[in-house]
Structure 1
């Protein structure tokens, strides 16, 4: 599984980098992303839901959201 730490980036870069990572995946593969930007913690899950990617929250601390995404 690929883990991508996007905690050092601010909106809109985490969403852009997530989209780029998803294009690299084959069907059924998973990635884990970590987000800390408040806007990205809202935008990335909304995008995933909108395009139909299966995702689940692995951890949601006060400052970091960790998502597992399946293509």
Structure 2
């Protein structure tokens, strides 16, 4: 599984990078995304839900949100 650490980026760059990463994934592959920016922590899961991409939150603390996205 590929891990994309986006904790050093601020909105809207994490969402853009997630969209680009999703274009490179094949069916059945998954990616773990780490987010810290408050806006991105809301925007990325909202976007995934809107477009119907399966994801799960594996960690949610005050400083980090970890998502596993499966294509």
TM-score range normalised by the length of the shorter chain: over 0.9
Gaps of 5+ in 1: none
TM-score of the superposed pair, with normalisation by structure 1: 0.99
> Hey, what's the Cα distance between the residues in 2 that align with 1:70 and 1:8?
23
> Hey, what's the Cα distance between the residues in 2 that align with 1:53 and 1:33?
14
> Hey, what's the Cα distance between the residues in 2 that align with 1:28 and 1:46?
21
Gaps of 5+ in 2: none
Counterpart of 1:37 in structure 2 is 37
Equivalenced residue count is 71
TM-score of the superposed pair, with normalisation by structure 2: 0.99
